[in-house]
Amino acid sequence: MMFGPIRTEAADEPRLVPDHPGAPATVSRARTMIVHASLVLFAVAILARAVQLQIVEHDTWLRVADRQHVDQQTVKPLRGAITDATGAVLVESREQVKLNIAPREIRDVRRKNAKRGDPLLKTRAVLRSGLRALSVPEAQIRKALDTNQKWVSLPKLYLPSDVERLVGLPGVHVERVRRRINSASDNLRGVLGAVDADDAPVGGIELELDLLLRGQDGSRALVKDPKAGYVESPELSNVDALPGHTVTLTVNQALQEIAESELRMALQRTGGTGGDVVILDPRDGAILALAGVRDGRPASTSTPMALAYEPGSVMKPFLVSRLFDMGKATPNEIIDTENGSAMLPGRKRALTDEHKAAQMPVRDVIRFSSNIGTAKLALRLTPREEFEAMRDFGFGSLTGVPYPAESKGSLPLPARWSGSTQTAVSIGYEVLATPLQIALAYAAIANGGELLQPALVKEVHDAQGATIYKHERRVVRRVLTAKTAREMRGMLASVVDSGTGTSAELATYDVAGKSGTARRSENGRYLEGKYNATFAGMFPAQAPQYVLVARIIDPKGTYYGGIVSGSLVNGILQAALATRNSALDRNALAEVAKAMPVPVAKPKSEKALALAARDSARRDSLLAPPPPKAEPAPAAARVVVALPITAQKVAARNDDEPREIRPVPSVFGLDVRQATRTLYAAGFQVSIARGSDVRTRPAAGTMLRVGSTVQLEMPRMESAK
């Protein structure tokens, strides 16, 4: 049958239909080629995509897969510890453990390395024994083992080493907790700062040295397991967290405790509303103690560094010293002090002196704190020279101490001075200074004329114990010649010996210092009857090891700095001398001790000699060793000997006149400060050590000679509750 071309009305092109067996199949061939080409292109696309996924984007998709099957966790490091100069821990981070018990999950399990047929581990018995070892109350133990309970959380936190035998037992779930434990004294906490719940620093050393303290994060990879959740895999690499560095401060904790205690007692005694104490080593600028109280409570910030005030007459030695160096005054030059009242250029009111005199030498201007004499000397300088002198001593600028809230005080530029500013600045008004700035300026006089950068950090050690930083003495500038510094120390010693600072005097050593009493201002006005009483001292005067600045705010009754704050300095020095570890060089002190008159012993009765022999026989290793035998006394009624206060000797005496024997007082129930004061009051020296509780060695009731050393043990830090 034959077929010809067929046309339709809807089609413009003829449709080819084979009209015989050999007709060409043009349409079918084209379709086949299209299909083949499509298949090839599809295969190429698949291959290209595979290359893209497996080679080009391999790492990207591997990370995606890891995120689905592997949980990469950040491991936070333990924050570095902060210690005092002796290594006593002030702040440290501890990893502790919280135990949660699921009683219904408790079951007996096979022991580790057990053989077939060995009895199963009695989990309940092990858990009960372990909880008792942790001093968990029996009621909580019964609850933790009661299968009627689904979940029991023990309230306390434990050290990981204490719960090691319980970890891994069925039904025991461990929650690890990081705690920052601060055992520092109240005032020192304001210096140290704190951290929040996320271990982020908040103020103080914690903030300033955060890069050193925070350490480096680690990582831990956990693989998802269908049955056990996420588990650690030995095939995945973990990075250990690197603990933070340990920061050792220059602060001496024993001296810090003394400063805080004496400041509190001084405020109770004087009725002051607040006060500050700074103690530093003038030889290298190390800050040994910082204390501040406001409204009866330890200040939240370190006020000796953070709050500036008008200090008054403690500023007088600085300009007088500069005049000595410039050759514009001499210690013995006579100054007209106009019988205690004088109207000076630029002032609207007359200056007055408490110690009224027609005239006095410059050394007495300092000794008796003459406002008139100091102001007249200051007028020998130009405003620019006076400004530069005060600035050179460090006023009006930051000291460089690593404390974020430090105040630089205020020293106005000469262009902003009024007519009275030149004389006002010379006597400590119209200038604001922190106690730390004042202490550093006095340290320059104490060390021979060099202004030092203060040090609050003694050393920094990494996690392996290697020292990565060690404080070295750093001189900012020389502000005095050695000769002038020596002359000024002598003048300041006369202030304590027979001037306005006699309350700071010690019987055993010479103390140098200067008092300051200034009216307090608020909102640009001076307050009636409100004063800042300040005393700046050096101990000992000949070769100072301490510079102390003490300030009492608004004392009631007597408000003079030499009396109010001078007594505070005296109390600190006496307590420091009675404490072994108070950062004093005892050998150096023995060389500068005062010569003390000691009465010659009178002949004793046979009974007294027998008692002395008996007391001598009771002496044991805990008692202070006997002093060397005294030289035969001359015929005179008194003999003069040096008073060597060393680790072995407390007072010069004759062997036939032994010290009184007293019982060691009980310190049960007292805190460390109260215990220390109790031992001081009983006549004993105190050495502070770490222990399990507040107690003494030898024990309370032991008979010791007055002046012997009693070791006071401080409790170790308890686990955080």
Q: Letter for the amino acid at 102?
A: A
The span from the CA of 667 to the CA of 712, in Å, is: 9
Q: Quick one: pLDDT band at residue 567, thresholds 50, 70, 90?
A: very high
**pLDDT at residue 34, rounded to an integer:** 86
Judged by average pLDDT, the poorest of 109-118, 124-133, 256-265, 320-329 is 109-118
* Same domain, residue pair 212 and 82: yes
Return the residue matching tokens 């005296």: 570
* Same domain, residue pair 548 and 670: no
Among candidate residues 218, 249, 280, the one where a domain is terminated: 249
User: Does 720 reside within a domain?
Assistant: no
Q: Quick one: pLDDT band at residue 364, thresholds 50, 70, 90?
A: very high
* Same domain, residue pair 325 and 191: no
User: Does 26 reside within a domain?
Assistant: no
CATH number at residue 285: 3.40.710.10
Q: What is the DSSP string of 139-202?
A: HHHHHHT-TT-S-EE-SS-B-GGGGTTTTTSTTEEEEEEEEEEE---HHHHHHH-EE-TTS-EE
Bridge partner residues of 341 (DSSP): 352
* pLDDT tens-place string over residues 174-230: 888 888 888 888 889 889 999 888 888 988 999 999 999 998 888 877 776 665 455
Q: Is the pLDDT assigned to residue 696 strictly greater than 70? A: yes
The per-residue pLDDT of the chain, averaged, comes to 82
* Same domain, residue pair 306 and 452: yes
**pLDDT at residue 211, rounded to an integer:** 93
The pTM score is 0.71
The span from the CA of 545 to the CA of 353, in Å, is: 32
Q: Letter for the amino acid at 149?
A: Q
More confident residue, 679 or 402: 402
The span from the CA of 283 to the CA of 77, in Å, is: 37
CATH number at residue 101: 3.90.1310.10
User: Does 466 reside within a domain?
Assistant: no
Q: Is the pLDDT assigned to residue 695 strictly greater than 50? A: yes
CATH number at residue 698: 3.30.10.20
**DSSP summary character for residue 344:** -
**pLDDT at residue 633, rounded to an integer:** 39
**pLDDT at residue 451, rounded to an integer:** 97
More confident residue, 124 or 668: 124
Q: Which of 72-81, 117-126, 619-628 has the highest mean pLDDT?
A: 72-81
* Same domain, residue pair 142 and 284: no
Residues 265-275: what's their mean pLDDT?
Answer: 95
* Same domain, residue pair 209 and 257: no
Q: Which of 454, 452, 444 is nearest to 485 (CA)?
A: 444
User: Does 1 reside within a domain?
Assistant: no
Q: Is the pLDDT assigned to residue 719 strictly greater than 60? A: no
* Same domain, residue pair 553 and 608: no
* Same domain, residue pair 445 and 311: yes
**Domain membership of residue 102 as a residue range:** 74-112+120-249
**pLDDT at residue 135, rounded to an integer:** 86
**pLDDT at residue 616, rounded to an integer:** 44
* Same domain, residue pair 78 and 146: yes
User: Does 21 reside within a domain?
Assistant: no
- The distance in angstroms from the start CA to the end CA of the chain is 107
User: Does 56 reside within a domain?
Assistant: no
* Same domain, residue pair 182 and 205: yes
Q: Taking a C-beta distance cutoff of 8 angstroms, is the pair 181, 91 a contact?
A: yes
Among candidate residues 543, 567, 591, the one where a domain is terminated: 591
Q: Quick one: pLDDT band at residue 701, thresholds 50, 70, 90?
A: low
* Same domain, residue pair 567 and 646: no
Residues 536-541: what's their mean pLDDT?
Answer: 96
User: Does 504 reside within a domain?
Assistant: yes
The span from the CA of 152 to the CA of 145, in Å, is: 9
Q: What is the DSSP string of 495-537?
A: HHHHSTTGGG--SSS--EEEEEEEEEEETTEEEEEEEEEEEEE
Residues 273-286: what's their mean pLDDT?
Answer: 96
Number of domains in the chain: 3
* Same domain, residue pair 98 and 174: yes
Residues 501-522: what's their mean pLDDT?
Answer: 92
Judged by average pLDDT, the poorest of 63-77, 111-125, 307-321, 524-538 is 111-125
* pLDDT tens-place string over residues 79-123: 999 999 999 999 998 888 888 888 888 776 555 544 544 454 577
